Amino acid sequence: MPVEERYTASLIRSLAFLRKELVTVWRQPRLMATLVLGPFLILLLFGLGYRATPEPFRTLIVVDEQDVPLGSDITDLGESFGAGIEIVGQTDDADAARRRLANREVDLVVIVPSGVVQTLSGGEHATFNVLHSEIDPVLTGSVHLLARLGVDDFNRRVLIGVVEEAQSESEGAEEVLAELDDTGTESEALARAREANPEILVSPFAVETSPLVEPPSTQAVFYAPGVLILLVQHLALTFAALSLVRERELGITEIYRTSPLTVREILIGKYLSFLVLGLLLAAALTATMLLLGVEIQGPVWSFTVVVALVILASLGLGFALSGLARSDSQAVQYAMVVLLVSIFFTGFVLPLDQLTAPVRYVSYLVPGTYGIGGLQDVVFRGQMAEPALVGGLVLYAAVMAALAWLSLRRDVEPVRA
Amino acid sequence: MSTTYAVRASGLTKRFGKDAGVFDIDLEVATGQIVGLIGPSGSGKTTTVRLTTGLLTPDSGSVEVLGQDPHRFTSQTRARIGYMAQESVFFPELTLRENLNFAASLYGMSYRRRQQIEEMIEFLDLGDVMDRLLRKASGGEKRRLSLAATLIHDPDLMFLDEPTAGIDPILRRRFWDHFEHLSDSNSTMIVTTQYVGEAAYCDFVGVLASGRIVAFETPEGLRRRAFGGEQLDVVFATPPDHEDVTSLSGASEVHKLRWLDDHTIRLSVDDAGSYAPTVVEWARQRDVQIEKTEPYLPPYDDVFVELVATLDEVTERESMVGNAG
């Protein structure tokens, strides 16, 4: 057979899969709904329902009303703790407050120290006691942070009050000092101190954070590229694995083995089919993202390259996993395991830096890790995806294609020369 | 002119566990022949086909198909082969037409595909159902699709594993007519079947039992082998004397004599045509009136039963000898 005829025949064989796979997927709307719409709706529901700002802690203040420290009142205390708490009442009965905490009627009980002046005079801290009943480590951490920041602010307020009092009590002292000091230096210094802003005197240093690039406006916007990558990865992987497992179950691989079809032609056909499907899904998800207010600040071609590479890498992973699955349901289970790993290890929920070194290597076993990092670069930082991530995806896709080839060869060309 | 063989197998053995499999299969299929493999379920027909297509690797023995070891087939050689699996193996979510198109694409067919497909549809009487999803098709329609997919690229050599299973008798007849037509065009076919009567359509028939080929003959040769020769029925005008008639079995040409009723006997002879006048002469000498003599062609079901029964007897005898030893 002439070479050009051989190539034409090879192309026809590969393209046969493109049509077959697209029609097969189109004719299974329920499968599409389960695999694509299901996870998408769950994540959308989570995104819509998730509150970035937690509910304030319902707080009960325990204070001896006969002994309010340094003249401050309960309003000062509430302001010091800020929006993190909501003061629901005040009492002088500590035991009753503990009982309400135990009954989950309140979230925090703040016991204001009594005998503050005496304690301070004795050279000791007057300690606020903050009681809580949280078991969630994140919330427990929040309580500790809130308490520390609240007391720092309360200390600052007390100091401001002290300075203001000292300034007002020093009125007229300049004249006395001027008579004693011919140079007038000390009286001028006192005048400056009296006129100075007490807040600046107490807190001379401040801090401001300035992001180099505009951070995402909401949590939903921040998670959007991650959702896109995880859904595209999940779809590509599942369809790739199911496609080969189903063909094996149907017995069609026997027909492949007795026909002139090669593993290379099957893989080209299948990669092409599912790349088209994956890109269609990615386009739909990107359109949704844009409608939700996400702005792609970097080059669109870089965005497209990252998505396409994630699809190719995920397809390879799916084809390779199909070699381990003996049935449809096993293939779906493997896909769900990869999705679960992806949620925790790709930087989708937690930053990768928070994973210890050996565990972090797990992250690089799923394409989503490279894809989420790459898309965040493009979408939020306005840059091209980091070359290391793109290179990682290319390498990953190549390794998976090789594994897929080996796995499929076992089915289709087990003993061919 | 020397014979060219499409398939040659020698001592082909494939074991599944202790007793299952096929053993010492010798097979020679000349180009243009139709060879039928007949045997009960589990006799090794499908395994033999799978060994010759390269789908299974033999434990021992050798096989050559179109001049090549099946495990070293080139793409060009595979393009000359058609294989129809025992089960329908196409895609349930595609229509019959889409499946057939896919099968044609596997052989790189492009421009002539449409015409071939239409011809296949007409031949297999699939016109009304071609746009039906395969999952909604009947068993017979699925078999017909599988056959169409096997024949679509005009292969030189076809392995057809039970192509007529679940097909009505009229269409079965049409299948075999088509196979004979393909054979006339020098195509070679190895066909397995459980319909023993289909042996009549084959050039050669291999009878399989317990993983072995117990007979490999022309259909006529198979009959002779099963019954020890040709069958000749002799119908007497009046019931003859049994003792007198039984003396016929002493003749050297008569291998077996069986009474069918008190008027009729069936003789196994080397050549029914030439022995009939001898019987007539024998009757004349004894003043016995014969109403008619006619050769009897036993149906292949009977041939098959006879062959398997003979094999069972031999096996039993061998086993007894073995135990005694």
Coil, strand, or helix at residue A183? coil
Which residues in chain B have their CB less than 8 angstroms from residue A16's CB? 101-102, 105-106
Q: What is the mean pLDDT of residues A331-351?
A: 91
* Chain B residues touching chain A at CB-CB below 8 Å: 53-55, 57, 71-73, 75-76, 78-79, 81, 83, 85, 87, 89-94, 98, 101-103, 105-110, 133, 149, 159
Closest-CA distance, B142 to chain A, in angstroms, reads 13
Q: Is the pLDDT of residue A71 over 60?
A: no
Q: What's at B96, amino acid-wise? A: L
Q: What is the mean pLDDT of residues A324-332?
A: 89
DSSP state of A63: -
Residue B246's Cα: distance from chain center in Å?
36
Contact A258 B81 (CB under 8 A): yes
Q: Is A264 on the interface with B (CB under 8 A)?
A: no
Task: Report how far residue A165's alpha carbon sits from residue A72's, in angstroms, rounded to the nearest whole number.
Answer: 13
Residue found under tokens 């014969």: B290
In B, minimum Cα distance to A265 occurs at B106
In B, minimum Cα distance to A259 occurs at B78
pLDDT in the model for residue B62:
94
Query: Per DSSP, what are the bridge partners of residue B268?
Result: B231, B256
Task: Report how far residue B301's alpha carbon sits from residue B310's, in angstroms, rounded to the nearest whole number.
Answer: 14
Q: Is the pLDDT of residue A170 over 80?
A: no
pLDDT in the model for residue B25:
94
pTM score, two decimals? 0.78
Contact A20 B91 (CB under 8 A): yes
Closest-CA distance, A248 to chain B, in angstroms, reads 10
Closest-CA distance, B23 to chain A, in angstroms, reads 21
Q: What is the mean pLDDT of residues A332-338?
A: 93
* CA nearest neighbour of B43 among B233, B223, B287, B311: B311
pLDDT in the model for residue B313:
72
Q: Which of A255, A259, A415 sits opposite B89 (nearest CB)?
A: A255
Kindly report the backbone phi and psi dihedral angles of residue B165, in degrees, each rounded to the nearest multiple of 5, phi listed first: -65, 130
Coil, strand, or helix at residue B215? strand
Coil, strand, or helix at residue B25? strand
Q: Over the stretch A217-238, which tens digit does the pLDDT of each residue have? A: 887 888 899 999 999 999 999 9
- Region at A150 (left for phi over 0; alpha for psi -120 to 50; beta for the rest): alpha
Those of residues 282-301 in A touching chain B at CB distance below 8 A are none
Q: Are B157 and B80 in contact (CB under 8 A)?
A: yes
Q: Over the stretch B281-290, which tens digit does the pLDDT of each residue have? A: 888 888 889 9
Closest-CA distance, A399 to chain B, in angstroms, reads 27
Closest-CA distance, A325 to chain B, in angstroms, reads 19
Closest-CA distance, B308 to chain A, in angstroms, reads 31
Contact A13 B108 (CB under 8 A): yes
A417: confidence class by pLDDT, cuts 50, 70, 90: very low
Residue found under tokens 């090794």: B44
pLDDT in the model for residue A416:
47
Closest-CA distance, A85 to chain B, in angstroms, reads 59
B110: confidence class by pLDDT, cuts 50, 70, 90: confident
pLDDT in the model for residue A47:
67
- Residues with Cβ < 8 Å from A231, sequence gap 6 or more? A36, A39, A40, A43, A281, A285
Q: Is A239 on the interface with B (CB under 8 A)?
A: no
Q: Is the pLDDT of residue B21 over 50?
A: yes
Residue found under tokens 């397995």: B192
Which residues in chain B have their CB less than 8 angstroms from residue A260's CB? 75-76, 78-79, 106-108
Those of residues 17-56 in A touching chain B at CB distance below 8 A are 19-20, 23-24, 27-28
Q: Are A298 and A307 in contact (CB under 8 A)?
A: no
Q: Over the stretch A150-166, which tens digit does the pLDDT of each residue have? A: 888 888 888 888 888 88
What are the start-end ranges of the H helices in A251-385? 252-258, 263-291, 300-322, 328-345, 357-363, 367-379
Task: Report how far residue A370's alpha carbon sits from residue A226's, in angstroms, rounded to the nearest whole number.
Answer: 11
Q: What is the mean pLDDT of residues B44-65?
A: 94
More confident call, A174 vs B184: B184
pLDDT in the model for residue B167:
84
Q: Which of B75, B81, B91 sits opposite A24 (nearest CB)?
A: B91
Tokens of B45: 């027909």
Q: Are B46 and B190 in contact (CB under 8 A)?
A: no
Which residues in chain B have their CB less than 8 angstroms from residue A256's CB? 106
Q: Is A125 on the interface with B (CB under 8 A)?
A: no
Coil, strand, or helix at residue B110? coil
Closest-CA distance, B5 to chain A, in angstroms, reads 19
Q: Which of B79, B85, B93 sits opposite A254 (nearest CB)?
A: B85
Q: Is A328 on the interface with B (CB under 8 A)?
A: no
B191: confidence class by pLDDT, cuts 50, 70, 90: very high
Query: How much is the mean pLDDT over chain B?
Result: 88
Q: Is A102 on the interface with B (CB under 8 A)?
A: no
Q: Over the stretch A38-53, which tens digit does the pLDDT of each residue have? A: 767 776 776 677 666 7
| Range in A67-81, A93-107, B262-276 with the lowest mean pLDDT | A67-81
pLDDT in the model for residue B222:
85
Closest-CA distance, A255 to chain B, in angstroms, reads 7
Contact A13 B106 (CB under 8 A): yes
Tokens of A183: 């140079």
pLDDT in the model for residue A69:
56
Closest-CA distance, B18 to chain A, in angstroms, reads 24
Q: Is A13 on the interface with B (CB under 8 A)?
A: yes
Tokens of A133: 């009943």
pLDDT in the model for residue B271:
87
Q: What's at A283, amino acid-wise? A: A
Q: Is A415 on the interface with B (CB under 8 A)?
A: yes
Burial of A25 (0-12, 13-18, 19+ CB in 10 A): buried
Q: Which of B83, B89, B105 sits opposite A16 (nearest CB)?
A: B105
Share of chain A above pLDDT 90, in %: 41
Contact B110 A16 (CB under 8 A): no
A116: confidence class by pLDDT, cuts 50, 70, 90: confident
Q: Over the stretch B198-232, which tens digit does the pLDDT of each residue have? A: 888 999 999 998 899 988 999 988 888 888 888 89
Give the residue from B53, B86, B93, B131 with the most A CB atoms within 10 Å of its CB, the best one to mutate: B93
Q: Which H or E element spans position A231?
A: helix A219-250
Which residues in chain A have their CB less than 8 angstroms from residue B87's CB? 251
Q: What is the mean pLDDT of residues A90-102?
A: 92
Q: Which of B55, B93, B98 sits opposite A254 (nearest CB)?
A: B55
User: DSSP of A75-125, one letter per residue?
Assistant: HHHHHHHGGGEEEEEEES-HHHHHHHHHTTS-SEEEE--SSHHHHHHTT-P
B158: confidence class by pLDDT, cuts 50, 70, 90: very high
* CA nearest neighbour of B57 among B106, B16, B115, B92: B16
Q: Over the stretch A246-263, which tens digit does the pLDDT of each residue have? A: 999 998 988 999 999 999
> Count of A–B CB contacts within 8 Å?
88
Contact B105 A251 (CB under 8 A): no
| Range in A46-55, A98-107, A309-318, B37-46 with the lowest mean pLDDT | A46-55
pLDDT in the model for residue B195:
85
pLDDT in the model for residue A352:
85
Q: Which of A12, A15, A415 sits opposite B57 (nearest CB)?
A: A415
